Chains A and B, each alone.
Chain A
Amino acid sequence: MSLRILVGVKRVIDYAVKIRVKPDKSGVITEGVKHSMNPFDEIAIEEAVRMKEKKIAKEIVAFSCGPAQCQETLRTALAMGADRGIHVEVAGPQFDTLQPLHISKMLAQLAKDEQIDLIIVGKQAIDDDCNQTAQMTAALLDWPQATSASKIEAKDGSLQVVREIDGGLETIKVKLPTVVSADLRLNEPRYATLPNIMKAKKKPIKKLTPKDLGVDVSPRIEVVTVEEPPVRLAGAKVENVDMMVEKLKALGHA
């Protein structure tokens, strides 16, 4: 097989950063905050690179949608082993209301334009936790989908995918072309090495607008308010089980 793989990579606030809400509650503070590639998308890129190393894939195209800084995320993908990047620039208020559906439409259009055989995305992004993009992309393309993959094996014209589901593992077979979303245990992504970061400088990144892909990103939703999660109230200690039962009864829990 020699697949062309499209991988979606999202630029998100780094997992280690403590998220803070803007004083006017219109969103979270992103200025001066460390960003990095969505960890699930790193896993997606890693899987694609491994498929290329096993000669299952011949080309890896990384895609990211968002403000200019998304180029950094794409550079990371290129340093990890993607061959070229596509950046669809969306910034400002339009970016704030961007939804998985918009991204799915872009991915679907790119899949057609670039003759893609396999789309891999992270199962969800750690900022909005939507877990929708893979599913909607598959629907738009009318391709089969294998979500939350923890193992992928290529077998003549199809993929055998192990999925993590409630209470166990499910093994399914999907025909190519297909859409896969990567779960946590699919692989352990490599570090982008410094020499590869330098070499990635020479790999091309194509810049597109949503319009180029025929996608209307005008907002369908309005953010009313963003709130900090409630602060956990202080607990109280009880001496023994009897007292605990008593307390719970008093609070109406038992």
Chain B
Amino acid sequence: MASYKFLTSKSWMPVLRHVSKSHYFQTVYLSSSASVYDKDIKEYKAPQTDTTNVVKKLQRPPFGKNLFLGKFDNEILAFPEVLDKERLQMLDEMVAPVEKFFEAIDSKKIDAEGKIPKETLDGLKALGLFGQQIPTEYGGLGFNATEFARIAEITAIDSSVAVTLAAHQSIGLKGLLIAGNEEQKAKYLPRLATGEWVAAFCLTEPGSGSDAASVQTKAVLSDDGNHWIMNGNKIWISNGGIADFFTVFAKTSVRGKTGEMEDRVTAFLVERNFGGVTHGKPEDKLGIRGSNTCQVFFENVPIPKENVLGEVGAGFKIALNILNSGRFSMGSSGAGMLKKLVGWSAEHAINRKQFGKPLMEFELIQEKFAKMAVTIYAMESMAYLTSGMLDTYEEPDCAMEAAMVKVFSSEAVWNCTSECLQILGGLGYMKDYPYERFLRDARILLIFEGTNEILRILISLLGLQHAGKSLSEMVRKVRNPTANPGFAVKKMWERFRRNPQNPSLNLHLESFLHPSLKRPSELLEKRVLQFEMAVEILLSRHGKEVSTKQMDLRRVADVAIDLFAMTAVLSRSSRAYCIGLRNAEHELELANSFCVDADIRCERLISELFAGEQFTQDLSLKKIATTIFQNKGYCAEHPLKQNA
């Protein structure tokens, strides 16, 4: 389809082709083997549904990726206003009944019984929540990313329900939305929009977790060529026991370019009615206990050949695209949940007295609330900045931003939920209070939809690949000074002049923000410029090995996440202050506080990137880990041990 953008690369390809013995740069290849994301990545484009409200989309460069080049798109500092007045009013009207419905849900019971009652599911379906991003012409609500994010704030109040809804539409039927043909959409979307049919996404297998390309479920074409016959076993499938419609990824034999048959992943749309689809017992989980998770078995399932999703052999791209497109909403859903928790905890801190005064008067309690508010502010800002980019950009390239939102918010939710429980003390630990449940529920966020470890690698490799492409161009020019004399001299001069510890600020970010944000904007700018240098150093230092340097990749990802978050809070708070929203001054404080903290984190990470592994703990940590694995566990002698 024309609306998807394919990265031009065939794989994580050689990003720098020019070998230079004398120069700063060396050839850089990103390994084409180990990484899960080691394939073409197709970008997801948010559905443009309401044809009456089509606004000309903006053509903007990829923000996150360009950070790796020290390029900063100043336009982003005008926080997006995605919805016009009427659309926003309608959204507000929709928020009310959804809130009311969720207030009545008995989450404690759902958690205890491990099941969402039928009446609750029916209510969710009747409200229309199963068809949020399905276009209106197929009976859905036609939400864009921003509207979807807003409603996710509310549905997150019950994690089991939230995961059920997400498994249905963020992944279960998303493939059909983005890669389905007209016949497939017309056949399935109306039933999925009403929730008459529930969808599930079947990728993970016992031997294929984060390494999603290695699925073993197999589909072979029947002798008459009309059906695919599928056999295999999928695990941890959300909605697996209640779904009627499955997006299943299976290996198929495809004739490759060389004419040899090779295994490629293909996506299939499978109805439970096809026969041969069964499922196991619901898994007994730490959290999201009401969400149905189980094994799904496919035994000689006949699938009509028109139910191949996209092209045969293109399944892996579709899977990544589905996962990349769903992640951004974790920011708003997490924020929605935390706002509730912080409200309840604040109530406690105001009323609970110890040592003769309410908890809220103690500094350590104040610190906790302030830090949580700063964190939530950053989550919200990143989530709605990303959804705004998805909605307003022409062919948005937001896989990196969405992954950043997911990593940042999943960890923020986990930490803040734990802090809220801490504020309640012993009460928070009791099952009579909801805090322990929220904590258990939050834990999955760091694991599913791509573990945070995998996503950090994804973030840095996406960026490094982007930087590598552009840098290779530069290297070519610099290496051929006779053809590009002006360019070479300019670059040499720039490089000579620049001071890694105190780069001269030339991005002028402050001129796009309210003057009261000058200081934090300078912090951001300094770190952006240093980040560019760190990326160059990393690429030149490690060359093609960079994709295996996970400790450095983690640092790169963490800096990039903080830079994006700083950008988001500055952009949002500046807008809030300029248009005079209620409590806008508070927002300036939140933004400033976030930037100061992020600056400190970035300082350390960047200095470690500059320094390299000889000067960090990395080598030592690797050595410790090696010893542990050699001894199959912790191997320091017991402290009481004496020599004979």
* A195: B residues at CB distance < 8 A: 128, 131, 139, 141
Bound-state CA distance A112–B250 (Å) is 68
A197 touching B94 in the complex, CB below 8 Å, given contacts A191-B100, A191-B127: yes
B137 to chain A, nearest CB (A): 12
- Whether, in the assembled complex, A193 has its beta carbon less than 8 Å from a beta carbon of chain B, the answer is yes
- Whether, in the assembled complex, B512 has its beta carbon less than 8 Å from a beta carbon of chain A, the answer is no
* B123: A residues at CB distance < 8 A: 191
- Whether, in the assembled complex, A32 has its beta carbon less than 8 Å from a beta carbon of chain B, the answer is yes
Contact A201 B97 (CB under 8 A): no
- Whether, in the assembled complex, B136 has its beta carbon less than 8 Å from a beta carbon of chain A, the answer is yes
Which of the candidate stretches B85-93, B218-226, B397-405, B557-565 sits at the interface with the other chain? B85-93
Bound-state CA distance A201–B93 (Å) is 11
How many chain B residues have a CB neighbour from A under 8 Å? 21
- Whether, in the assembled complex, A233 has its beta carbon less than 8 Å from a beta carbon of chain B, the answer is no
* B16: A residues at CB distance < 8 A: none
A36 touching B96 in the complex, CB below 8 Å, given contacts A191-B101, A191-B126, A194-B129: yes
Bound-state CA distance A235–B85 (Å) is 52
Bound-state CA distance A195–B131 (Å) is 9
Bound-state CA distance A201–B88 (Å) is 12
| Majority secondary structure of chain A interface residues (helix, strand, loop or mixed) | helix
Residue from B100, B131, B582 with most neighbouring chain A CB atoms (10 Å): B100
Partner pick for A76 among B93, B101, B129, B139, CB 8 A cutoff: B93
Question: Taking CB as reference atom, which chain B residue is nearest A69?
Answer: B89
Contact A201 B90 (CB under 8 A): yes
* A193: B residues at CB distance < 8 A: 97, 126-128
Partner pick for B90 among A32, A36, A191, A197, CB 8 A cutoff: A197
- Whether, in the assembled complex, B98 has its beta carbon less than 8 Å from a beta carbon of chain A, the answer is yes
Contact A72 B89 (CB under 8 A): yes
Question: Taking CB as reference atom, which chain B residue is nearest A79?
Answer: B93
Interface residues of A in 2-39 (CB under 8 A from B): 32, 36
Contact B582 A194 (CB under 8 A): no
Bound-state CA distance A75–B96 (Å) is 12
* A197: B residues at CB distance < 8 A: 90, 93-94, 97
Interface residues of A in 163-219 (CB under 8 A from B): 191-195, 197-198, 201
Residue from A32, A36, A197 with most neighbouring chain B CB atoms (10 Å): A197
Contact B93 A72 (CB under 8 A): yes
* B92: A residues at CB distance < 8 A: 72
Interface residues of A in 62-112 (CB under 8 A from B): 72, 75-76, 79
* A75: B residues at CB distance < 8 A: 93
Contact B127 A194 (CB under 8 A): yes
* B89: A residues at CB distance < 8 A: 72
Question: Taking CB as reference atom, which chain A residue is nearest B139?
Answer: A195
* A191: B residues at CB distance < 8 A: 97, 100-101, 123, 126-127
Partner pick for A192 among B97, B136, B139, B141, CB 8 A cutoff: B97
Question: Taking CB as reference atom, which chain B residue is nearest A75?
Answer: B93
Question: Taking CB as reference atom, which chain B residue is nearest A80?
Answer: B97
Encode B114-139 as 1/0 by CB contact (under 8 A) with A.
Answer: 00000000010011110100001001
A194 touching B128 in the complex, CB below 8 Å, given contacts A32-B582, A201-B90: yes
* B128: A residues at CB distance < 8 A: 193-195
Nearest 3 Cβ contacts at the A-B interface: A194-B128, A191-B97, A195-B128
Beyond A72-B89, A194-B98, list 13 extra A-B contacts (CB 8 Å). A36-B96, A76-B96, A79-B93, A191-B100, A193-B97, A193-B126, A193-B128, A194-B94, A194-B97, A197-B90, A197-B97, A198-B141, A201-B86
Query: What residues make up the interface of B, taking CB atoms closer than 8 Å to A?
Result: 86, 89-90, 92-94, 96-98, 100-101, 123, 126-129, 131, 136, 139, 141, 582
Q: Could you list some 24 contacts between A and B, CB below 8 A?
A: A32-B582, A72-B89, A72-B93, A75-B93, A191-B100, A191-B101, A191-B127, A192-B93, A192-B96, A192-B97, A193-B97, A193-B127, A193-B128, A194-B94, A194-B98, A194-B127, A194-B128, A195-B139, A195-B141, A197-B90, A197-B97, A198-B90, A198-B136, A198-B141
